[in-house]
Amino acid sequence: MTSFGYFLACEEFTPAQLLDQARRAEQAGFTRLAISDHFHPWNDAQGNSPLVWSMIGALSQTVDLPVTTLVTCPTVRLHPAVTAQAAATSSVLLDGRFRFGVGTGEALNEHVHGDRWPPFADRAAMLEEAVEVMRRLFTGELVSHRGHHYTVENARLYTVPDEPPPVYVSGFGPNAAELAGRIGDGFVLMGPGQELVDTFRDAGGAGKPVVGGLKVCWDEDRDRAVDTVHRLWPNQLLPGELAQILPTPAHFEQACELVTREQVAQNTTCGDDPEAHVEAVRAYVDAGFDEVYIGQIGPDQEAFFENYRTKVLPALGGAAR
């Protein structure tokens, strides 16, 4: 049975706003939280980028819901040994309710040390090695590793959860879906792509969770909602690998000049028609997703949570409180 969570967008909201949304999500009947991990927002209009590990610590003291990173890149900006320590501590703070979503990352967040941004094949190999290193560290045993991409010397995590956090691997193409099936405990993708789900399951992911997310804009004025999405999140509609290779918010703003208001209206659920929201989420359910995370774009969080509590989640099988 599919469960429904709320997507906390670190790019758009302050730490205090994210914590408030987490409380509202729990009260509204969402059963999980996902949170993004960004060094930069996609554009200056979004305007935020709090450190995800600090936010997870605060969330552990605010709500009782499971928390999943969607997603962390453990390969460039942070060494996998340091990322493993952050993930292990998060799992301890959340009493085992932490799910560790990982991916190959974007130049936007990972280029900040001045490192070369590798092509996908190299990034995939780096991720595979990083996951191997982190799984070994999650055991609490002493680890030394000399691989093609990473060196770890005499490292041991003393604060580890009773069980290692599940590692969910993100993918947006067939090669990434195959990698997720081979090394992941679950699969993350942001669209209801049945083909990629099948690839993941055929590559070893049968029986493992499939996790997806989408952003919507609940607003009684649909035109205003479309304008809000067009201003804040046009990057969602950029094609191909642009999201992985553009290095700064300014570059995304330039590229997003190509995204029209009409494209936003056609591809993002906007307005206050409950059935439209139900239909958008149900597409993931029909594609076999186990967890779906919905994020509200813009300031009208109160109306979103109230209407999802009373109309949308009950129609999807949740219970109004």
Q: Does 79 participate in catalysis according to the annotation?
A: no
Coil/strand/helix, residue 209: coil
Whether residue 71 is preceded by a cis peptide bond, meaning omega within 30 degrees of 0, is yes
Decide if 270 contacts 222 (C-beta within 8 A): yes
Decide if 30 contacts 317 (C-beta within 8 A): no
Query: What is the residue type of 282?
Result: R
Distance CA 140, CA 159 (A): 8
- The enclosing H or E element of 188 equals strand 186-189
Q: Which of these is catalytic: 11, 12, 26, 38?
A: 38
| Alpha-carbon distances, residue 48 vs 36, 40, 44 (angstroms) | 12, 7, 8
Q: Which of these is catalytic: 12, 106, 110, 178?
A: 106
- Of the candidates 98, 104, 101, 102, the residue with the CA atom closest to the CA atom of residue 159: 98
Q: Counting every residue, how long is the chain?
A: 321
Q: Does 230 participate in catalysis according to the annotation?
A: no
CA pseudo-torsion sign 7, 8, 12, 16: positive
The catalytic residue positions are 38, 106
